[in-house]
Amino acid sequence: MCGIVGYVGTGRAAPILLDGLKKLEYRGYDSAGIAVLDGSRMQLFRRAGSVAYLEEARKLQGCIGIGHTRWATHGAPTEQNAHPHVYGRFAVVHNGIIENMQPLKEACLKRGETFSSETDSEIIAHLIEFCYDGDFIKAVRSACARLEGAYALAVLCTAEPDTIVLARRASPLVLGEGEDGLYLASDIPAIARKGIKIYALSDGEFAILRGREIAFYTEDGRKISKDPIDYDCEEEIPEKKGFAHFMRKEMSEIPLAMANTQKIIPCYPRISELREVLCHAEYIEIVACGTAYHSGICAKYAFESLARVPVAVSIASEYRYRDPIVKKGTVVIAVSQSGETADTLAAAELARARGAVVVAVTNVRFSSLARLADHVLFTCAGREIAVAATKSFNAQLMLLYSLAEELARARGGRVCGAELAELPALAAEAGRAAEGVRGWTAHFAGAKSVFFLGRGADYCAALEGSLKFKEITYLPSEGYPAGELKHGTLALVERNTPVVALLTSRRLAEKTMNAVHETYARGAKVFLITCLPEYCSREEVSFSVVIPDCGEIFSPALSVIPLQALAYYVSVARGNDPDKPRNLAKSVTVE
Ligand code: G6P
């Protein structure tokens, strides 16, 4: 899983490749590399670690090259396993997973070929070399015909030093045509700028970038023409602006992200069509991964409580393989910050193929998800750099809550317009209150495990709080329904185990406090996040932060803010980089 780039033109390739790769690091930063042809001389530069370690390669001569930033699937994140992989005349960068690598590799070994990496990707260079009889694209096509799995490929050949051949199956690939040359990348922002025409390669297609010309081909070798995508490249490059980390800066942008997202549904040009679809929906299924899955769980409470429509929330990687029932009138909402998560894309595609109307909720215009959905609602969080999602989660909640409200209005359900309208301002207040968790850091930094408890919507926020905490602190944590604790998890509570309790519903407060008391009685240290200040003085509570009251259903949009802050401060206290946690990537583009 990874990001790939390429360039052929009149400029020097190396700086263009490095700048493109930096923009793709959200797809992985375990290792990186570039291959640049200087005439027919293949120059390879690879390093373990992030793209920053490639700086020395910036000076390479040559106007054609390919590059890669990796998130390791097969083989450790070492220099040896870094792309590009070179075999014979060919250098290859690959995003995806080759599932039949074992039999293919055995055939190569029988022919006496040797491998220099443990990756599944190196096999592609071997196959292309094996299939090459002087026709570059034919060799790539023949090699691809033998591959099973997912791939976006860019290939260089020393025998044709003005040409890059591209292929795509189930992993995204876009091309750019600019004044100074031709570009390729895993996503549009990596190559987008004024005056560049962008084309998207579809599944099964091939392309040749030769000199100043792009040629597109179908899987069976037929030449086709394509229209450029209509995109807007006015995106600003995010900077830390005085914050120590992007994560902290992005948390400070939560109120703005929510306020901007609030305007989306009223301005959606096809709102009456969408309203119609939703109004007739007998059933809504939300599919997503990671933090986006948690926003789906939070939204289920809102859709069901306000609009009284049954909602199921599925982890996309489970949905796609469980042979889901898609009844007539099912609406599938696919939620994805990046719009590139492989499992979410596959789940959305499957739902659509089975007759569902797919509504995408994504933060990235022109993302793969935005391109495949029937309706697209954009969260306006702005670009998010830190791997741990923060402002995009709050923006997803804002959008999904607004959709639930829209539906409630149309179906005669419960309408909470005023509470919803106030959310961005209350999020700013919650952000100020959240600074209170800074003083809690010492109790968490050396903890063996941490528990996040809540009931109802508080439970949903607890799930996200726990995910945030474990991914950047590397400490084990669990988000748990307060009422379920006694069925097993309570056995893990020891003296001084930190328990973070969420309490934002007066209706459920005493019930949650029962569970809190059960942990306290077994030695837990209890940290409370609440909008009910009277609970702060309870005997069980060691520390507390009071956030504003926004009503039970919408409360995760506020209660998650101190949880994000807690994860951030503990991560920093443990000496971690919260922006780039180990082993993770911002967007997971393989299954
Ligand atoms: C990765 C990221 C998470 C994110 C998840 C889903 O695991 O590290 O922060 O929530 O992917 O990503 P998406 O772009 O689909 O929301």
Which of the listed ranges 154-163, 238-247, 272-281 does the model predict with the highest average pLDDT?
Answer: 154-163
State the burial class of residue 328 (Cβ atoms within 10 Å of its Cβ: 0-12, 13-18, 19+).
exposed
226 is catalytic: no
How many percent of the chain have pLDDT more than 70? 99
State whether residue 564 is helix, strand or coil. Answer: helix
| From 2, 157, 460, 531, the catalytic residue | 2
Report pLDDT digits (tens) over 551-575. Answer: 999 999 999 999 999 999 999 999 9
Distances (CA, A) of 19 to 7, 78, 233: 11, 22, 16
Specify the pLDDT at position 187.
87
- Rounded to 10 deg, the angle between the 556-573 and 417-434 helix axes is 20
Distance 339 CA to ligand 1 centre (A): 9
What's the rounded Cα separation, in Å, for the pair 103 and 463?
41
Specify the pLDDT at position 236.
62
Distance 124 CA to ligand 1 centre (A): 28
DSSP 482: G
For CA atoms 176, 180, 181, 185, give the dihedral sign: negative
Report pLDDT digits (tens) over 4-51. Answer: 999 999 999 999 999 999 989 888 889 999 999 999 999 999 999 999
Specify the pLDDT at position 386.
95
- pLDDT band of residue 585 (cuts 50, 70, 90) is confident
Structure tokens at 310: 């049954």
CA-471 nearest atom, ligand 1: 8
Structure tokens at 566: 């807690």
Question: Residues spanned by CATH 3.40.50.10490 within the chain?
Answer: 240-415, 432-591
Distance 587 CA to ligand 1 centre (A): 5
What's the rounded Cα separation, in Å, for the pair 33 and 42?
13
DSSP 178: E
Specify the pLDDT at position 73.
81
- The residue-averaged pLDDT of 118-145 equals 96
Strands of 375-378's sheet, edge to edge? 311-315, 283-288, 330-336, 357-362, 375-378
Structure tokens at 177: 């045509």
Cα within 13 Å of Cα(332), Cβ side: 33
Distance 81 CA to ligand 1 centre (A): 24
Specify the pLDDT at position 543.
98
Report pLDDT digits (tens) over 182-211. Answer: 999 998 888 988 889 999 999 899 999 998
Lowest-pLDDT range of 216-220, 387-391, 429-433, 545-549: 216-220
For ligand 1, is residue 338 a contact (CB within 6 Å)? Answer: yes
What's the rounded Cα separation, in Å, for the pair 88 and 206?
22
CA-344 nearest atom, ligand 1: 15
328 is catalytic: no
CATH topology assigned to domain 432-591? Rossmann fold (3.40.50)
Specify the pLDDT at position 194.
84
Residue nearest to atom 11 of ligand 1 (CA): 587
Is residue 126 pLDDT above 90, yes or no?
A: yes
Considering just the CA atoms, what is the radius of gyration of the chain in Å?
25
What's the rounded Cα separation, in Å, for the pair 324 and 135?
44
CA-584 nearest atom, ligand 1: 8
Average pLDDT score, the chain: 94
Residue nearest to atom 4 of ligand 1 (CA): 290
For ligand 1, is residue 27 a contact (CB within 6 Å)? Answer: no
Structure tokens at 374: 């029937």
Report pLDDT digits (tens) over 454-496. Answer: 999 999 999 999 999 999 999 999 999 999 988 998 999 999 9
- pLDDT band of residue 54 (cuts 50, 70, 90) is very high
User: 297, 463 in Cβ contact below 8 A?
Assistant: yes
What's the rounded Cα separation, in Å, for the pair 465 and 281?
31
Give the CATH number of domain 240-415.
3.40.50.10490
What's the rounded Cα separation, in Å, for the pair 498 and 519?
10
Cα within 13 Å of Cα(428), Cβ side: 8
CA-288 nearest atom, ligand 1: 15
Residue with tokens 């670009």, as numbered in its chain: 383
Pocket test for ligand 1, best of 25, 338, 362 (most atoms within 8 A of CB): 338
Distance 288 CA to ligand 1 centre (A): 9
Residue with tokens 């190396």, as numbered in its chain: 14
State the burial class of residue 164 (Cβ atoms within 10 Å of its Cβ: 0-12, 13-18, 19+).
buried
DSSP 229: B
For ligand 1, is residue 505 a contact (CB within 6 Å)? Answer: no
Nearest one of 398, 392, 387 to 571, comparing CA atoms: 387
State phi, psi for 555 to the nearest 5 degrees. -60, -30
For ligand 1, is residue 344 a contact (CB within 6 Å)? Answer: yes
For ligand 1, is residue 289 a contact (CB within 6 Å)? Answer: yes
Is residue 542 pLDDT above 90, yes or no?
A: yes
Distance 290 CA to ligand 1 centre (A): 5
Specify the pLDDT at position 237.
64
**pTM listed for this prediction:** 0.86
Domain 3-224 has CATH 3.50.50.60: no
What's the rounded Cα separation, in Å, for the pair 33 and 50?
9
For ligand 1, is residue 390 a contact (CB within 6 Å)? Answer: no
- pLDDT band of residue 74 (cuts 50, 70, 90) is confident
What's the rounded Cα separation, in Å, for the pair 254 and 384?
11
Q: How many helices (H) does the chain have, and how many strands (E)?
A: 18, 24
For ligand 1, is residue 291 a contact (CB within 6 Å)? Answer: yes
Nearest one of 412, 430, 432 to 422, comparing CA atoms: 430
What's the rounded Cα separation, in Å, for the pair 17 and 30?
17
Report pLDDT digits (tens) over 300-312. Answer: 999 999 999 999 9
User: 235, 187 in Cβ contact below 8 A?
Assistant: no
Residue nearest to atom 2 of ligand 1 (CA): 586
| From 249, 300, 468, 586, the catalytic residue | 586
Specify the pLDDT at position 415.
85
User: 29, 580 in Cβ contact below 8 A?
Assistant: yes
What's the rounded Cα separation, in Å, for the pair 34 and 297?
41
Nearest one of 6, 210, 151 to 128, comparing CA atoms: 151
Contacts of 412 (CB under 8 A, 6+ apart): none
Pocket test for ligand 1, best of 337, 377, 385, 392 (most atoms within 8 A of CB): 337
For ligand 1, is residue 296 a contact (CB within 6 Å)? Answer: no
Nearest one of 432, 449, 395 to 570, comparing CA atoms: 449
Report pLDDT digits (tens) over 324-358. Answer: 999 888 999 999 999 989 999 999 999 999 999 99
What's the rounded Cα separation, in Å, for the pair 484 and 387?
30
Question: Residues spanned by CATH 3.60.20.10 within the chain?
Answer: 3-224
Residue nearest to atom 5 of ligand 1 (CA): 290
